[in-house]
Amino acid sequence: MDQKASNMEESSGNVFADLGLPNAEQELLKARLILQIYEIIKQRGLTQSEAGRILGIKQPHVSALMRNRSGNFSLGRLMTFLTALDQDVEITVRPKRSEHAEVSVIMQ
């Protein structure tokens, strides 16, 4: 067996948790929402300036968003961006289904 392969660990499904970062679930959720925003902007062929007008932010902030620099944006703000892009955002709360409670995003 290759020595590199023996040092590998299976991912938990959350790279932020795997790296031991704080607020891992929140960071994963933000990354997923940003990906959805990114895909909508690209699918619509919007420039960053056009996207900024829709989202109510300046072009440099759109640029940061498009590069997944989510630190400047709260989850609430990201959800506001999605509604500005004519998307419905639903939040569902239910009892946990596995050993650990989790946050997920279902994109349609």
Q: What is the CATH number of the domain that holds 76?
A: 1.10.260.40
CA distance 25 to 28: 5
User: How many structural domains does the chain have?
Assistant: 1
Q: Which domain holds residue 71?
A: 21-108
Report yes or no on 3 lying in a domain: no
Is the residue at 83 inside a domain? yes
Residue 50 placed within a domain = yes
Place of tokens 């300046």: 58
DSSP summary character for residue 75: H
Helix (H) / strand (E) element for 29: namely helix 24-43
Distance CA 51, CA 84 (A): 10
Residue 37 resides in a domain: yes
Task: Give rounded-to-5 percent helix, strand, coil for the chain.
Answer: 55, 0, 45
Residue 46 counted as domain residue: yes
Can you give the pLDDT of all 108 residues of the chain as single tens digits?
Answer: 555 556 777 777 777 767 777 777 888 888 889 999 999 999 999 999 999 999 999 999 999 999 887 667 999 999 999 999 999 998 888 887 777 766 666 766
Residue 82 lies in a domain: yes
pTM for the predicted model, two decimal places:
0.76
Compute CA distances 38 → 9, 43, 46, 83, whole Å: 30, 9, 10, 14
Q: At what angle do helices 48-55 and 59-66 cross, to 10 degrees?
A: 100
Whether 13 maps to a domain, the answer reads no
In a domain, 26, yes or no: yes
